[in-house]
Homo-oligomer: A and B are copies of this chain.
Amino acid sequence: MEMVDVAAQLASYRQTIDNLDAALVYILAERFRCTNEIGLLKAEHGLPSADKSRENHQFTRLRKLAENTMLEQDFLENLMKFIIGEVIQRHNQIASEYLAKQSSAR
């Protein structure tokens, strides 16, 4: 393959990556819209931010999904831990804001 063909092939692959990354970002944005709603629901009902049994369910499910794809299980679990960590942080923030609003309304 000539170097000019290599560059064209690389550019084509990178266009695919850019499209997939946009899809990832918009799906993640929708995921956080949903987890923010959960955060508010939990704050309103005094439920804890983290839920170990739910997390266990998610990781069992992820392991099955990893088996169906060519993804490394460890990589996928670490990626999900990173996302869930951000979710819990936001839940705590939503709960603090909710409590502050409640106490100022009294």
Query: Hey, which bits of chain A sit against chain B, CB under 8 A?
Result: 1, 3, 6, 9-10, 13-14, 16-18, 20-35, 37-38, 41, 44-45, 47, 54, 58, 61-62, 65-66, 69-72, 75-76, 78-80, 82-83, 86
- Cβ of A14 and Cβ of B45 under 8 Å apart? no
Residue pair B34, A30 in contact (C-beta under 8 Å): no
List, in ascending order, chain B residues with CB within 8 A of A3's CB: 45
Bound complex: CA A47 to CA B49 (Å): 46
From A37, which residue of chain B is reached at the shortest CB distance? B13
Question: Contacts A31-B20, A62-B25 given: A45-B1 contact, CB under 8 Å?
Answer: yes
> Measured between alpha carbons, how far is A75 from B87 in the docked complex, in Å?
11
Contact (Cβ within 8 A) A27 B34: no
Instruction: Establish whether residues B65 and A22, one from each chain, have CB atoms under 8 Å apart when the complex forms.
Output: yes
- With A9-B41, A10-B38, A79-B83 known as contacts, the answer to whether A71 contacts B29 (CB < 8 A) is yes
CA distance A7 to B58 in the complex (A): 17
A85 CB, min distance to chain B CBs, angstroms: 10
CB pair B41–A10 under 8 Å, yes or no, is yes
